[in-house]
Amino acid sequence: MSNNNYTAKNIQYLESIEHIRKRPSMYIGDININGLHHLLYELLDNSLDEYLEGYCNKIFIYINKNDTITIEDNGRGIPIDYHKKIKKTALELVLTKIGAGGKFDKSSYKISSGLHGVGLSCVNALSKLLKVTIYRNNYIYKQIYSKGKALTKLKILGKTKKTGTRITYTIDDNIFNYKIYNYNIIYNKLKEISFLNKGLKIYLYDKRIETKKKIYSKNGLKDYINYIDKEDKNNLVIKKDIIIKKNYKNIKIELIIRYRYNIKEIIISYVNNVKTIDGGTHITGFKRGLTKSFKTHLYLNNKYKNLNINKDKIKGKDIREGLICIITIKLSNPEFEGQTKTKLVNKNLTGLIEKVISTEINNYLEENPNNRKKLLDKIILSYKSRYAAIRAKEFVFNKNIKTYNKIGGIPGKLSDCSYDMPNKCEIFLVEGDSAGGTAKQGRDRKYQAILPLKGKILNVEKSIASKILNNDEIKNIFLALGVYLEKIKEKIKLNIKKLKYKKIIIMTDADVDGKHISSLILTFFYRYMKKLIEKGYIYVAKPPLYMIKFKKKKNYIWEELEKNKYIKKYKNKKIKIQRYKGLGEMNASQLWTTTMNPKTRKLKKIYIKNNEKSKKIFNILMGENVKPRKEFIIKNAKFAKIDI
């Protein structure tokens, strides 16, 4: 039972530093890998603020052998003079008090990423040791701190002509679960920073492995967009990126836009060098301005008027499909949601950004009629695809399998089996009608079903969703298997409750075309029916390459090496070799014996050993980008077994 004597004695008051140490996740997000690196970012923000004010052009970061961090800049150096009101030096004030700093005084910093006066004091509070060296007023000053408190007084070490701040800190390992700094995480962060601040020189040293790197960007956002987008240039809607730079009402806006013929939308945003991964009012304004300007031009153009598309039916996502945009804004009073600053919440910013974007995009479209036509055509294509996808989903998301009869019922080409027991039933997805007909004759009708597929099915890795879900062969696979896609908590998942077969066998010709068709079907299963692979229901049949006849005896051969051994064995004897280029070259009896009879056939079971590697391989081999596929083929050509 709780104590009823609840009085003022029970109320605890924590000083700012104590509060940070008691509740670190409130200030840095977590005490794992992200929070660990966030400490460095807080110090980096202070150096960047000096750069933004024009006082710094170099930043040095050292990952030391004991996993301590040193960061140094050539800015003005943190002030060290005595603060009469607080009765401490300015340096001690910013290192020990939340809400202390020069960021509140706009004569010191017009633009700043550190806004709450938390950064330095937060790093200090969570460090068991922090050494700060200041180069200022022609002197070198040094002071040592621990767990948010000063251990020594500020000392003068000597004279210098340089200016700046150098901080080395050691985290308090009683607070953090994760204690080792990741070079790649830091490098990628600094790479981003260099793109956003062209001309800034950043030097990264990792003394653990004795490596150093200069990180520098000459062209800023142009370099950034090329860094994140390495796809084939032939897939661009317009050849040159749209670049906007504008100063409006003390707000600096810079962005770059690229359009591709694909369905991805990528928007990366920053405010005063802080990555706003959750967007905010600036992104709302950007989207509204973009939508407004493109819609205006769509309905001013007679060509698009004649399409009889209601203005309200064109959505912002139609306009942004295939868009890659990097937007960075700089302003004096940003308001973020929380200390980790992932979302901008300035209310007045939406309208300002909308106006700038709308005006600038309108001007661009007026001045570039050829590009305007290409972009408007792309938007109409996106709209039509989305509209077609809605109709396709009416089919795919239908939970009642029986209602498929309204759309076409069981596929006409499916020859089903008589058993109604998924554990005992299997279905062959067969390449072509001819082989499908042979398979129907040779199968065991009790438990084997046959679904012929017309040639090469759609490459789902390259196609948009609406085209995929409207494809007849893909519809037939859904219908035949008795599965469907459904939305659960905004995620699309495969429902297999009414799956009719727990052995799904891909059966294609043994030649190169057959292997390509098999790869296309596997790509479809991986992207849309991965659960069936994970459950172990997907197999690939292995038809024989040869039939070697000696006298009346027939031998089926699956490998070239096996064939060579057989020829060597009957070297001086009269043998007949038949090469099976396609399934249709076998009669029903031969197909049953070699490829369909469970007692004699050979099947490859498909499973996923490493999901990330599998995803990458499918993307390389079946995706739109030609360059990585070419590189993969050159690298692995020596392992290929090709029958020409």
Q: Is 206 among the residues known to form the active site?
A: no
Do the Cβ atoms of 329 and 257 come closer than 8 Å? no
From the candidates 431, 461, 473, 585, which is the catalytic residue?
A: 431
- Cβ–Cβ < 8 Å for 72, 59: yes
Cα separation, 460 vs 326, in Å, equals: 28
Beta-sheet pairing, 448-453 with 426-431: parallel
Question: Which one of 265, 511, 562, 624 is the catalytic residue?
Answer: 511
Cβ-count burial 601-638 (b if 16+ within 10 Å, e if not): bebeebeeeeeeeeeeebebebbbeeebbeeeeeeeee
Give SS3 for 272. coil
Angle between the 183-196 and 221-228 helix axes, to the nearest 10 degrees?
Answer: 140
The residue assigned the tokens 């460095």 is 40
Burial of 323 from C-beta contacts in 10 A (0-12 / 13-18 / 19+): buried
Which member of 53, 486, 513, 624 is catalytic? 513
Answer yes or no: 509 catalytic.
yes
Question: How far, in Å, CA of 432 to CA of 282, rounded?
Answer: 54
Dist CA 556 CA 197 (whole Å): 67
Strand 323-330 and strand 266-271: the pairing is parallel
CA nearest neighbour of 477 among 569, 410, 423: 410
Q: Which of 92, 241, 254, 509 is catalytic?
A: 509
Active site residue 511: yes
Tell me how far the alpha carbon of residue 70 is from its chain's centroid: 31
Closest CA to 39 of 177, 185, 171, 202: 171
The total of other beta-carbon atoms located within 10 Å of residue 80's CB is: 18
By DSSP bridging, strand 503-507 and strand 426-431 are parallel
Residues 419-435 as b or e (16 or more Cβ within 10 Å = b):
beebeebbbbbbbbeeb
Q: Which residues form the catalytic set?
A: 431, 509, 511, 513
